[in-house]
Chain A
C-alpha cells in the first residue's frame, strides 16, 4: 500500500485531509484507493482512502480512518525491486520490536518478495526477516517472539 506524507491538520470543508503529493505519486492514485498516511513531525501513521485526485495540481483529498492512528517512526529503504517503509512505535521501541511492521510503498511488485534487515534502536541491533503477503509484510515468528 502506498505511503503518503501529509499534515493531518490540513482539511477541506468536509473534514477530509488535503495534501499536494509528488507527481509520481499522484499519477498512481485514484478515488477509492486505500493508502497509508504519515505525518513526519508528529510521527503519526493512519489508514485512509483516496477521495479525489486533481491531476493538474497533484492535490489529493483523503478520507481518514480516525481510529487507526499509530505513533510510529518510519524509515525508508529500497532495493532493486521495491521501496519499503519500516515503522517502529517510538514508545515501545527498545526491547519491544514485535509491533514493528514493514510495508511496501511500491505497487505492482511480486507477491513473494522477502526482506532481511536490521532494526537499530539505540545500541540494540535486532535482525529481522520478513516475508511478504500481498503488499503488507509481517515480521517472522523468530523476530516476533523477541
Chain B
C-alpha cells in the first residue's frame, strides 16, 4: 500500500452494495477500471481522524468524496487488507477517494467477497447537501 493508512480508517461506499442490482454493476465497473488501465478496482472513500466520532468521520468522507446517495455502507481498512487479494490506494491525503484493488482475476466471487466486507447500509448523513435547491 503506497500510502500508510491506519487499519481502523473507515472505508465508505455510496449506496447499498448489498442490493442485488449492484453485483453485476460492480463487476462491470471493475472491468471498466481495468479497461482504463487502472486494474480491476472499485471506488470508495477513505478517512481517518481519531478526533472525530464515527458519524462525523462518515460525514467528512461523504462530503469530501461527494457521495450523493441516500444510503452508504462502511467497512475498515483492516477488514479490506485482511481479505487477500484486496489492496487500497488512496488518491491523496485523507479523507480521499480510494480505489480498492480486487487483484488480478475478476469474477463474481471476488466481487461478492468485496461486498461482504461492508456492514449493512445506513443513512448518508450529508446526502441532502447534494440535492437540487440546497
Give the interface of A toward B (CB within 8 A).
7-13, 15, 18-20, 39-42, 44, 46, 57, 59, 64, 66-71
Chain A residues within 8 Å of B36, by CB: 12, 18, 57, 59
CA distance A57 to B28 in the complex (A): 13
Contact A67 B28 (CB under 8 A): no
Instruction: Contacts A8-B69, A69-B132, A71-B70 given; indicate if A42 touches B15 (C-beta within 8 A).
Output: yes
Instruction: Tell me the minimal C-beta distance from A6 to chain B in angstroms.
Output: 10
Which single member of A42, A44, A67 contacts B134 (CB below 8 Å)?
A: A67
Which single member of A15, A19, A66 contacts B32 (CB below 8 Å)?
A: A19
CA distance A141 to B42 in the complex (A): 45
Bitwise, B6-42 to A at CB < 8 A (1) or not (0) is: 0000000111100101100110110111011000001
Chain A residues within 8 Å of B69, by CB: 8-9, 39, 42, 44
Contact A9 B15 (CB under 8 A): yes
Contact B43 A41 (CB under 8 A): no
Which single member of B35, B43, B66, B131 contacts A70 (CB below 8 Å)?
A: B131
CA distance A26 to B14 in the complex (A): 26
Instruction: Contacts A20-B28, A41-B22, A59-B36 given; indicate if A69 touches B91 (C-beta within 8 A).
Output: no
Instruction: Contacts A41-B19, A68-B132 given; indicate if A10 touches B32 (C-beta within 8 A).
Output: yes
Contact B68 A18 (CB under 8 A): no
Instruction: Tell me the minimal C-beta distance from A84 to chain B in angstroms.
Output: 21
Chain B residues within 8 Å of A20, by CB: 28, 31-32, 35
Chain B residues within 8 Å of A11, by CB: 43, 97
Closest to B68 in A: A69
Instruction: Contacts A41-B15, A42-B15, A69-B132 given; indicate if A7 touches B29 (C-beta within 8 A).
Output: yes
CA distance A70 to B19 in the complex (A): 20
6 closest cross-chain pairs (CB), A and B: A41-B21, A69-B130, A69-B68, A10-B29, A42-B69, A9-B14
Chain A residues within 8 Å of B13, by CB: 9
Q: List 11 A-B pairs, Cβ < 8 Å.
A: A9-B15, A9-B44, A9-B67, A10-B43, A18-B36, A20-B32, A40-B21, A41-B21, A59-B32, A59-B35, A59-B36
CA distance A40 to B24 in the complex (A): 13
Contact B132 A67 (CB under 8 A): yes
Chain A residues within 8 Å of B25, by CB: 7, 41
Chain A residues within 8 Å of B70, by CB: 42, 44, 71
